[in-house]
Amino acid sequence: MRKGNVYLLIFILALFGFALWSIVPLDRNIFGREGLRLGLDLKGGTYLVYQADVGDIEPGTEDEIMDGVQGVIGRRIDALGITESIVQVQKREEEYNIVIQLPGITDIEKAKEMVGLFTVLEFREQDAGGNWTAAQGTVNGEALTLTSRYFKDNTYATVDSYGKAYLIFEWNETGAQLSKQITTRLIGKQMAIYLGDEPLKGEDGRIIAPVVQSVIEDKGQIEGLSLVDAQELSRLLNAGRIDVPLGRWADKVFEPSVPLYERTVDATLGQDSIQKSIVAAVIGIVLLVIFMLVYYRLPGLVACLSLGIYGVLLLAIFKLVPITLTLPGVAGFVVSLGMAVDANVLIFERMKEELREGRSLAAAVEAGFNRAWPAIRDSNITTFIACIILIWLGGELGALMVRGFALTLLIGVALSMFTAITVTRTFLRLFIGSRTVTNLTAYGVTPRQIVRNTK
């Protein structure tokens, strides 16, 4: 029995040491250990949700296409050097949503500009009146507009030996058929590229409208652009190769590029929230520790020790999984601290009762743990149920904050069952086994109470 306790203690200390090692330092990356991941409400950043217009897509291929869209957006964001970004596809009945989180982004204009590119680029030709209209062709008897969705994703900009820039591109099968029909018709005329109702413009502010010089079938090139324009355009075309427009539905009308949700938090507000949360957590914990020490004495001290271990382990889990910490997540963490104490309170109250009935310390500790267990188990399961429903419906509830809270609370409560049972019990057993403190007053029971209750 005692040997088992020593092994358990070694295990707990090793775990604690590892957790401590992995969380220090909290905010930086050292030796490949990532910093604590902060959500955009703590770090500043942008959160965007768009609906996809999958109306033009062949039924049955939606999942595959949305995966493609997710990949394209992800690569684009990575190319901008934004780390820790998250791009997710949510399927809800027949609707597809794209969720984009850009933590730490300070240049909101840039994020928005990038978002504008999630729509499909359209090629246009000039009609007799000089107005730009969609360049169309017919494939399998269907009139289609030539858009960026028919590009292969290998568009690139290059410079020849004379320093002239080219944009090299390739169409897919449908694109090649359309391109052939359109360029045959437009030889010697201009074509422009539109994003919604705005034409793409070059560095010099002029519309990019190359003249068609030959019939383009599967492969082609655009020349006469500056290198910067060519590179920019290749980036746009690769990104604009997204097969579905993103925006939102409003009364059965699709509004491209308008987000369903948008949240932007300034980094200074996030910093302020972090400071306030830390102050709040420290004050709360100090109050908690004082209360536990005054009311439960020695077991209270043990509970505070195991609460310390709990806090360190929880932070290590947040860091290693990693779990993004949001402001409601901090609230969940704080609430879970309160609940972590609950299990200990249950056990100690039981222990006191057993001591009052005249049992020995060792017997009281064992009985306290054994008899408090069903209540701890049953009561925590109800919290699990609430958290699981929140995590499940959290995404649908809209705000990403809901999930943050539920997840931290769930992990916190689960972990608290481990620390309250295993850690506190091991400590208490060792304390009692070593016979350093045998005075029952240290356990919050006066001898008078024992006499009264044992009669």
Partner 1 sequence: MIDFIGKKRWFFFISWILVIIGIVSLVISQIQLGAPLQLGIDFTGGTSMILQFSSKVEQSQLREEMAKLGYEEARIQDAGENNFIIYTREISSDEARELTEKLGTELDSQVEIIDYYLVSGTVAGQTARNAIIAVIIAAVAMLLYIVWAFRRMPKPFRWGTCAVIALVHNVFIIAGIFSFLGWLAGVAIDALFITGLLAVVGYSINNTVVVFDRIRENVLRRIRTDFAETVNDSLTETLGRCLNTALTTIFVLLALFLFGGATIHYFVIVLLLGVIIGTYDSLCFSGQLLVVWEKRQWRELWPFTKRPA
Sites for partner 1 among residues 367-396 (CB under 8 A): 371, 374-375, 378-383, 385-387, 389-390, 393-394, 396
Size of the site for partner 1 (CB under 8 A): 74
Does 228 bind partner 1 (CB under 8 A)? Our answer is no
Residue (137 or 368) nearer to partner 1, CB: 368
Does 306 bind partner 1 (CB under 8 A)? Our answer is no
State the minimum distance, in angstroms, from the CB of residue 444 to partner 1.
10
Stretch of residues binding partner 1 (CB under 8 A), selected from 132-140, 144-152, 225-233, 346-354: 346-354
Residue (13 or 283) nearer to partner 1, CB: 283
Pairing label, strands 253-256, 45-52? unpaired
Residue (283 or 362) nearer to partner 1, CB: 283
Sign of CA dihedral 369, 371, 372, 375: positive
Does 119 bind partner 1 (CB under 8 A)? Our answer is no
Stretch of residues binding partner 1 (CB under 8 A), selected from 150-158, 180-188, 317-325, 335-343: 335-343
Rule CB under 8 A: choose which of 120, 288, 323, 428 binds partner 1.
288
Rule CB under 8 A: choose which of 168, 285, 414, 442 binds partner 1.
285
The span from the CA of 198 to the CA of 207, in Å, is: 10
Does 178 bind partner 1 (CB under 8 A)? Our answer is no
Does 280 bind partner 1 (CB under 8 A)? Our answer is yes
Q: Report the site for partner 1 in 31-70 (rule: CB under 8 A).
A: 41
Residue (20 or 281) nearer to partner 1, CB: 281
Q: Report the site for partner 1 in 399-438 (rule: CB under 8 A).
A: 399, 401-402, 405-406, 409
Rule CB under 8 A: choose which of 353, 357, 433, 437 binds partner 1.
353
The span from the CA of 414 to the CA of 404, in Å, is: 16
Identify the CA nearest to 70 among candidates 91, 100, 46: 100
Residue (15 or 289) nearer to partner 1, CB: 289
Rule CB under 8 A: choose which of 262, 301, 320, 430 binds partner 1.
262
Residue (290 or 321) nearer to partner 1, CB: 290
Rule CB under 8 A: choose which of 345, 351, 421, 423 binds partner 1.
345
Does 112 bind partner 1 (CB under 8 A)? Our answer is yes
Does 259 bind partner 1 (CB under 8 A)? Our answer is yes
In this structure, what is the dihedral angle of CA atoms 64, 68, 70, 74, given to the nearest 10 degrees? 150
Rule CB under 8 A: choose which of 64, 276, 321, 360 binds partner 1.
276
| C-alpha distances out from residue 119 to 60, 170, 244, Å | 22, 20, 7
Identify the CA nearest to 183 among candidates 223, 155, 209, 213: 213
| Residue 343, CA atoms < 13 Å, CB-side half-sphere | 34
Q: Report the site for partner 1 in 236-255 (rule: CB under 8 A).
A: 248-251
How far is it between the farthest Cα atoms of the chain? Answer: 111
